[in-house]
Amino acid sequence: MAERSFAKEVQKLKLGEGETFAGEGILAITKALLESGVGYVGGYQGAPISHLMDVLADAEEILSDLGVRYEANASEAAAAAMLAASVHYPIRGAVTFKGPVGVNVASDALANLASSGVTGGALVIVGEDYGEGSSIMQERSHAFAMKSQIWLMDPRPNLPSIVRAVEDGFDLSEATNTPVMLMVRIRSCHVTGTFTARDNKRPPLTVREALSNPRSDYSRVVLPPMSYAQEQNKINDRWPAAQAYIRDKGLNEFFGPKDGPVGIVVQGGMYNGVIRALQRLGLADIYGETDIPLYCLNVTYPIVADEFLDFCEGKEAVLVVEEGQPEFLEQALGSALYRAKSGTSLHGKDVLPMAGEYTGQVMLDGVEAFLRKTAPDLLPAQIRSPNAVKTAAGPDLTKTVPIRPPGFCVGCPERPIFAALKMTEQARGKHQIAGDIGCHLFACLPPFEIGGSTMGYGLGPASNAAFDGGGERRSIAIIGDGGFWHNGLSSSVGNAVYNKSDSVIVVVDNFYSAATGGQDILSSRADNKSKSTGHPIAEAVKGVGVKWVREIDRTYDVPKMRKILDEALTTDYDGPKVIVASSECMLNRQRREKPLRDKAIAAGRRVEKPRFGVDEDICTGDHACIRLSGCPSLSLKKLDDPLRDDPIAAIDQSCVGCGNCGEVADAAILCPSFYRADVVHNPGWMERTLAGISNAAISFLQRRRSGNRLEFVKA
């Protein structure tokens, strides 16, 4: 069950010639693939392109009708390997994954693909997750494109440009026999707009038809001496062919006047930010008409040196707007200027920061600094003046607004696992704990502070390998079900079995690849019409040789979770110990159950919904429940009682009734202040009658008690 359904939106993929398409960037990319005659598509989910995988899944029937093969790949490596279909066959293929971590995972297959070259167009759609909205380490995919000589496109972030880039990417790939990476940034994926649609194309040769006439060519195999010839082909044939194609087809764009004292070279994805900065400086309008010449690189690798030098002709200085580091573009363009003995000076990271996202203010400051240094007369008088009033910076809220790091959702079934583990550590001492990519990584933050390292998706247990030889305390590693199936079964669990590791591995099974949007995986318990689910993780680990396996199918049972952890840490068994802790992702559960519950209530059917609360008279204000749970629905409440200074625990309206707070309180022997109340919607007549009698009795007793209370009146 994916985070969001695109079942309605995918009907737009059927639009034909001349019709207007309106929607998000991810849907536009899918439409562009179909218009380009793609033969097969695949990929692996991950922000910011998780929704692109969801769109493809929801559009599977439309793809199938066109003869397009869709594959939800097990990992980015599997997706990239799928592009092998384009090596020998004139079939266009596209895969998508998160970059640069997806590129890292897929690097082996991508490097081999780039070496052998392709016959059909091969497009790798990379969701470039860089900047303030990123969930990963701050790197760029540009380095890999350079290393393996894969052409890199970075289109302007508007729907017509993105759609055109898909078609151009396939054409460029086929014209140069080289795979192409199409980089779409976070904002490009979710930008909305319109473009004029074309008819979808059935691939001239489908993968099914290709099976009837198999092809092979040993010159494409990456082995000596063929690999040496492939390298020469890259340099002597493919690279010049790419530069010629980019120049002749006008893939890069020029804006503004042809001549001027200065100019700006900008990555396509940065175009909107540059135009906005120029607009704020009075040098461009809202339609993109600019007074400063712009050279927009919709293809950032390879650089077309003669095209760049033509742009620089007659200009005293040029600014390179390149987000992130190292400054690959600035180095390449500087080299071109040096070799041409050009007198144009090059600016970039001297006025713009080396690292970090180029937000609106950063871009404005950088462009203004460049113009002040090189062409101050171009700036309006009110800005050029030394007494110009600077734009007021936003208020500093760091001292009044607390930071809000990412954390587990309300009712998350992973929270009780770490509450149990924290209590175990309190009893047995601190352990060496390694985390993994996924929601469970939030456990390294307060209030749990468990674990503190991640080395890659599915590599949590493998990252603890150095500590798995035994010691005073066994090492513990956490891995999610998504990471387990992505890479963990072989690289982590298989590795532990082979090396006879005396370690504990906790597999957090929440039924989905929850961190990437709730997509089904092999161990999902939901019925999936087109995918095989229902394969237990416990059976998989036993299959690779794990002998000690324990399962808990309700992680909210904190005492049981503690008992299993204690057993794993104290058993005499010398070998990897695997605990599979299973409970459904609460977000997905609520997405499924809440609409059904609301529908039943609206229809007048009786519905019970559990709610938890804290008895104000019993709660001592110790707050250990919050320290051991961390649930966002647990907060503090100030009492009016003058004899009680400390605020008590309170549960707000976001509570989903998972019961974790009460379970933690019980397991830690904290206090009996938690209670459960079942809220009944549309009760029957008997329940209403009994409730009326109960309320009347309680009201009577409360009035009598109030009547017997002594009151002191101030004279």
Q: pLDDT (tens digit, 9 = 90+) per residue, 78-88?
A: 999 999 999 99
Q: How many alpha carbons fall within 13 Å on the CB side of residue 629?
A: 29
- For the cut 90, the answer to whether the pLDDT of residue 66 exceeds it is yes
Of residues 572 and 48, which shows the higher confidence score? 572
- 651 forms beta bridges with 634
Per-residue pLDDT at 471 exceeds 90: no
Range with lowest mean pLDDT among 18-27, 52-61, 118-127? 52-61
Q: pLDDT value at position 388? A: 58
For 45-59, 420-434, 560-574, which range has the lowest pLDDT when averaged over its residues?
A: 45-59
**pLDDT at res. 392:** 55
Q: Which residues contact 324 (CB under 8 A, 6 or more apart)?
A: 130, 138, 139, 140, 142, 355
Q: How many helices (H) and strands (E) does the chain have?
A: 27, 23
Q: What is the pLDDT of residues 149-159, one digit of tens each?
A: 999 999 999 99
Beta bridge pairs of residue 691: none
Q: What is the arithmetic mean of pLDDT over 557-576?
A: 93
The pLDDT mean for the chain works out to 89
Q: With pLDDT > 70 as the criterion, what percentage of the chain qualifies?
A: 95
Per-residue confidence (pLDDT) for residue 389, from 0 to 100: 54
pLDDT at 689: 92
Looking at residue 393, its pLDDT comes to: 60
Among the ranges 1-10, 332-341, 372-381, which has the highest mean pLDDT value? 332-341
The predicted structure's pLDDT at residue 669? 58
Kindly calculate the radius of gyration of the chain based on its CA atoms and give it in whole angstroms: 30
Tell me the pLDDT band of 391, cut-offs 50, 70 and 90.
low
Reported as a pLDDT band with limits 50, 70 and 90, residue 715 is: low
Window from 25-34, 135-144, 255-264, 270-279 with minimum mean pLDDT: 135-144
The answer to whether the CB of 425 falls within 8 A of the CB of 448 is no
Residue 351: per-residue pLDDT: 96
Mean pLDDT computed over 408-436: 90
State the Cα–Cα distance between residues 509 and 517, nearest whole angstrom: 15
Tens-digit pLDDT profile for residues 246-298: 999 999 999 999 999 999 999 999 999 999 999 999 999 988 899 999 999 99
Instruction: List C-alpha distances in Å: 234 to 179, 227, 237.
Output: 12, 11, 6
Out of 15-24, 583-592, 636-645, least confident range: 636-645
State pLDDT tens for residues 306-361.
Answer: 999 999 999 999 999 999 989 999 999 999 999 999 999 999 999 999 998 899 99
Q: Residue 385: is its pLDDT beyond 80?
A: no
Strand duo 648-651 + 634-637: pairing: antiparallel
Contacts of 67 (CB under 8 A, 6+ apart): 39, 202, 203, 206, 208
| pTM reported for the whole predicted model | 0.87
Q: Mind listing the domains of the chain with CATH numbers?
A: 13-205+212-248 (3.40.50.970), 253-384 (3.40.50.920), 415-588 (3.40.50.970), 606-705 (3.30.70)
Residues 225-244 have a mean pLDDT of: 94
| pLDDT on residue 149 | 95
